[in-house]
Amino acid sequence: MTAQTGYVSGESAALLWSRITSVEDWPSPGVSFKDLSGVLEHGPAFSLVIDALAERVDNAALDAVVGIEARGFPYAAALAYRLGIGFVTLRKPGKLPRAVHSQEYSLEYGVATLEMHQDALDQHERVLIVDDVLATGGTAAAAVELVLRTKTEIEAVAVIMEIPFLQGRGVLEAAGVDVIALLDASAPHEIRR
């Protein structure tokens, strides 16, 4: 892999954490949801994320960035623009008009499905999959499965934050996919409530 991994630190980490809100018992009781909307709403924080991700995949010879609906879209689209490459969407069922590949997966609070146009990726492309948070790895693993059906190489799955105790990284690494994460949710930080 040519991408670099490693969390952001210092002032960069402090800026990102200052824009993240923890929402308890959402979307279901017992879940502590990490809302990264504040990162998108703050120009310097959003720019920091895109610059940090671009830096980590600078020499990866990527052809496209694949974004997971919906929270992965703004990061993936901005990163694709920054890298001058294509952007491919993974959508919820019934949102794509052409023939699709579908993958059902489990979330920590339910079951969901992702779909991708069957012709979205050329067999010779190399892609980066992007989402906002890596928790149990179910969504990211479904994204990996969809991309692999097209015989496309995956450089890594990149996220803004990972929640290590939910072991999503292990799920992806067991499937042979590297993980790039900018923040570790278990590290000491100040978070908005």
Q: Is 69 a catalytic residue?
A: no
The set of residues, in sequence order, having a beta carbon less than 8 Å from that of 17 and lying 6+ positions away, is 183, 189, 190, 191
pTM for the structure as a whole: 0.93
Whether the pLDDT of residue 190 is over 70: the answer is no
Backbone angles phi, psi at 187, to 5 degrees: -75, 150
Give the active site residue among 19, 71, 91, 169. Answer: 71
Which listed residue (24, 41, 55, 108) is catalytic? 108
Q: What is the 3-state secondary structure (H, E, C) of 22-62?
A: EEECCCCCCCEEEECHHHHHCHHHHHHHHHHHHHHCCCCCC
Cβ-contact 112, 129 below 8 angstroms: no
Task: Report domain extents, the chain.
Answer: 10-184
pLDDT confidence tier of residue 192, bands split at 50, 70 and 90 = low
On whether the CB atoms of residues 143 and 114 are closer than 8 A, the answer is yes
Structural fold of domain 10-184: Rossmann fold (3.40.50)
pLDDT at position 177 is 97
Q: Is 108 an active-site residue? A: yes
